[in-house]
A and B are shown apart, each in its own frame.
Chain A
Amino acid sequence: MISIKNLSKVFKTKDQTVNAVDDVSIDIPKGEIFGVIGYSGAGKSTFIRLINRLEDPSEGEIILDDQDIAALRKEPLRKKRQKIGMIFQHFNLLWSRTVFENIAFPLEIAGVPKRDRDEKVQELIDLVGLKGRENSYPSQLSGGQKQRVGIARALANDPTVLLCDEATSALDPETTDDILDLLVSINEKLNLTIILITHEMHVIQKVCHRVAVMEQGQVVEQGEVLNVFVKPQSKTTKRFVQQLSPLEHQIDRLDEFITDDQQSEVVKLHFIGNNAKRALISEVSKQLDVAINILQGSISPTQEGAYGTLYVEIKGEPTVIQEAIQYIEASGVEVEVLKHV
């Protein structure tokens, strides 16, 4: 369990002060993958660096395993850091060391004897899928493989939390997915708490249980990923959610279907969780005397269940259309009737 209370970081320069992180409070239970999303300059990078004190907080508490990291002195902080793994956007591997030696480095720092070290490194190499590359140098690896080394290195001292600082931002989409899959499997296998920051909603959607949206140093919204997706409150969140459903950008293509005709309504349906898997449309058209014309739709899987959007045109008598909408709403799917703006 990590409990962050009123965390702030103020950068002071000669002529200005910047509140990079401004009164952030977040609780993260053990075993959760918690995402922080924001545009560049939102303070998310500073936020994650405050957690292991790469930046010193100006105010606030970071309670990890009943210890306030923010208040630790130099030596206990050093020990504590050995139990906080971190991976980086640019991997930050030592080019002078092989894969094996890179992963052994944190164990050397922690003073683990050579024999135990070798055993642990071998275990980690298997875990991240780098068997056979032990003696390669980082320069001989692809970006994805480098990040695997980074992950193995971060896990070496059995940390209680893993911090991911834009860990997939330097990777191509396919490799990003591989690395995210690896993070999820590690989370499940080791019940490891993961805090990741990103500017890609896709990453949040794919791996996170809960998310916080940051803007100008403040958390403007936080909650279950699915809820934030379906009912984004703030403007920033809405923009992020739109990144994921390209349909949101193409509303104008529906224009010709949206008419003043009483016999036709265009509606947007939100499917959440298990509802996304129901054959709702055929149910409605069987039960009621309406014709349903599917215009466009998409479905996005998240860690907590699927989330889908479907645009349909319902044709029929106005009263029957209302009945159909009520039927759909009663089944737990959200309905939004689209009108001309």
Chain B
Amino acid sequence: MFNDIFPNVQMDQMWVATYETFYMTIISIIATFIFGIILGLLLYLTDRGNLWANSTLNGITASVVNIFRAIPFIILILLLIPFTDFLMGTIRGPNAALPALIIGAAPFYARLVEIALKEVDKGVIEAAQAMGAKAHTIIFKVLLPESMPALISGITVTAIALISYTAMAGVIGAGGLGDLAYMQGFQRRNFDVVFLCTVFIVVIVFIFQFLGDWSSRKVDHR
């Protein structure tokens, strides 16, 4: 039955590709979350009227973020090939995709972080200052916890963009379901492989969306 509908699909290949997609997605989500929050905090804190108001630093951070956000992902991968080679020692496989994935997604997420932080009630920050809180206390005990639901829904949106980035990275040989769909499917006219890869990717997207929505609700006590 299965072999009739998907004559060209080899399930062992499918599982390896699925594993690679998960691997690339999860590692890049974690790194994007960390770098995105750092960049987002920097954008927010150096903004006018905030804790570390500094227009020069704000301008530099904003420019970097905007430049990397403006570059189409597929071009970013190509531009980063020398850097990836230097950093990872290879330009093929899931690990080789990571620098491009993270550099492509972190600036995007940084903007979402900035928006989330701007939503934090100024009065609460002021209350913490009135209690004599240090800057790092305000960041880790006020800003981040108070914006957590938005930070989580932001990383969910970013994660889903990352899943489609991993598929794109597959075209230049990063592995994963995108690679499989392109190399084994499209190039060899095996459209059943393309179709099944698509189904798998959609399922993965649903899983991440569900996890994101669930945990965002979980931390929201407003």
Q: Give A residues with C-beta under 8 Å from B.
A: 52, 54, 77-82, 84, 86, 88, 90, 92-97, 105-106, 108-110, 137-139, 153, 157
> CB < 8 Å: which of B128, B130, B145, B146 contacts A52?
B130
Q: How far is the CA of A109 from the CA of B140 in the complex (A)?
A: 12
Does B49 interact with chain A (Cβ within 8 Å)?
A: no
Q: Known contacts being A92-B123, A95-B146, is A54 close to B137, with CB within 8 Å?
A: no
A-B contact count (CB 8 A): 64
Q: Is B219 an interface residue (CB 8 A)?
A: yes
Contact B132 A86 (CB under 8 A): no
Secondary structure of the B side of the interface? helix
| CB under 8 Å from chain A, chain B span 21-72 | none
* Closest residue of A by beta carbon distance from B131: A106
Question: B127's contact among A78, A80, A92, A96, by CB below 8 Å, is which?
Answer: A92
Indicate which residue in B130, B131, B137, B145 contacts A96 across the interface (CB closer than 8 Å).
Answer: B145
B residues sitting closer than 8 Å to A (CB atoms) are 121, 123-124, 126-134, 137, 141-142, 145-146, 148, 219, 221-222
Contact assessment for B146 and A84 in the assembled complex, using a CB-CB cutoff below 8 Å: no
**Across-interface contacts of B131 in A (CB, < 8 A):** 81-82, 86, 105-106, 109, 153, 157
Is A105 within 8 A of B132, CB to CB? no
A92 near B126 with CB under 8 A, answer yes
Q: Which of A79, A92, A138 has the most chain B CB atoms closer than 10 A to its own CB?
A: A92
Q: How far is the CA of A54 from the CA of B146 in the complex (A)?
A: 21
The answer for the CA separation of A290 and B137 in the assembled complex, in Å, is 74
Nearest-Cβ distance from residue A221 to partner chain B, whole angstroms: 28
Flag if B123 contacts A96 (CB, 8 Å). no
Asked if residues B130 and A94 are in contact (CB atoms below 8 Å), the reply is: no
Closest to A81 in B: B132
Assembly CA distance A90 to B128 (angstroms): 14
A78/B134 contact (C-beta < 8 A), A95-B222, A139-B221 known = yes
Neighbouring B residues of A105 by C-beta, 8 Å: 128, 131, 141
Shortest Cβ distance from A331 into chain B, in angstroms?
49
Which of A80, A92, A109, A139 is in CB contact (< 8 Å) with B133?
A: A109
Given A94-B145, A108-B141, does the pair A54, B129 have CB atoms closer than 8 Å? yes
Contact B132 A109 (CB under 8 A): yes
Report chain A residues within 8 Å CB of B222: 95, 139
Minimum C-beta distance from B109 to chain A (A): 20
CB neighbours of A78 from chain B (8 A): 132-134
Whole-angstrom distance between the Cβ of A78 and the nearest chain B Cβ: 4
